[in-house]
Amino acid sequence: MTGDHDPAALHFVAGLGAAMASANYPVTMVRNTMVTASGAYGLDNQYLALPNYVQVGNSETGALSIAHPDRDLRFDQTFALSTLIGKAQRGAIDPVDGSAELERIWAMPMRFPTWVGVIGYALQSAGLALILQPAPLTLLLAVVFGTVVGVLSELGRRSDALAQLLPTICAFLVSLAAFTAVDHLHLGDASLRALAPPLAAFLPGAAITLAVIELSSRQMVSGASRLVSGFMRIAQLAFGILIAAQVAGISDDHLITTPVNRIGPWAPWLGLVVYAVGGMLFFGPPNRFLPWMLLMLGTAYIGQVVGGAVLGSYASGFVGGLVLTLTAFAISHRPGTPATVSLILPGFWMLVPGSLGLMGVTELMGTDSTAVFAATLISMISIALGVQFGLLLWRLARQFGDSDDPRLFRD
């Protein structure tokens, strides 16, 4: 306990909240973490938490600490952050040391060199191709274009200006090359589903999911900003694809999403493993996370497949999100396991709700169909509602238990 007049503690709490916001924690969890950490340090403050702005103030002393990071925290950095969150909520780390640890987390270099990250992205793209469109042409395009996008993504990590334009640039380059090659070589399987794997990293599934959760919890400013950001990302991707289609002279009937499996029913399961290995190389989490990543990817995929078979395609994302969330909570509640956020994120990557939105928006622009627009909205929010329902079920189940684990989502 440090007392109400400790500026170091005030600064640390604000910095911790800002780091959590940069790691795409829900703002409700950011605020509650700051409240709990402040209590552990003997502070009685007021808080404001937004996706890119955090403010902690003390009305009695007039002390104020503001943090607004200008970049996102990488996935590999979130593991060290979750450990620090647990210590802060127990008051188990000195505020000065905590701020120093935050600086160390922000300054953490990528675990692997650039060329390994490029290989990882190509493997991710190949794995997703085996899941979405198991066909030799699609797999070849996924590897080639995944390599290109991987190189550009590594460059984007070093340039904010390039990073802002990267979704449109990559969508245009990938689509133009694919459409041109298919048109001249008369190859099949030239659908939007073949374009999704190399562009998967830009799909805003997590942002839209968080938006729905925050809007439902009356965090209107944060939820609305995330939702607009997600739609803007989809629009950037769709714009790049449509411009490429016009330049290549591809007609609207090429912009289809018909699934094709020319490899075999085992291909998606192999794709899960390939995707997990690629994710480990591209994002660089600790080696011990690989089994958990495989488990969460498999859980999300099985939930989506079962949901689609039982309830229909619109509900597949809902069931996948529900099963993913409950599984992540059940695992992270046990000691020595990764944090809930770290477990859920790989499932977001696998469910790829944004890929359906990307295809739907592109078809909408080409066909002007209101039915496609409705399907697009449903596909993007179904997983978000599944995650939210999973959160509610877990809270109901744990309301009489020890639900104060700082690693978990909380209201």
State the pLDDT at residue 344: 87
Percent of the chain with pLDDT over 70: 82
Indicate the pTM of the whole model: 0.86
Q: What does the chain come to in residues? A: 411
d(CA 211, CA 109): 30
**In degrees rounded to 5, what are phi and psi of residue 339?**
-65, 160
CA angle 52, 84, 409 (to 5 degrees): 65
β-bridge pairing 46-50 and 53-57: antiparallel
State the pLDDT at residue 406: 46
pLDDT in tens, 33-87: 999 998 888 887 788 888 888 888 876 777 788 888 778 899 999 999 999 998 9
Contact 55, 47 (CB under 8 A): yes
d(CA 280, CA 124): 9
pLDDT in tens, 277-292: 999 999 999 999 999 9
d(CA 303, CA 317): 8
Q: How confident is the model at residue 410 (pLDDT cuts 50, 70, 90)?
A: very low
pLDDT in tens, 343-355: 888 887 777 644 5
Residue 400, token pair as written in the block: 């009489």
State the pLDDT at residue 184: 66
The CA R_g of the chain, rounded to the nearest whole Å, is: 22
d(CA 224, CA 213): 11
C-beta pairs of 300-303 under 8 Å, 24+ apart in sequence: 300/324, 300/346, 300/347, 300/348, 300/350, 300/351, 301/131, 301/268, 301/272, 301/350
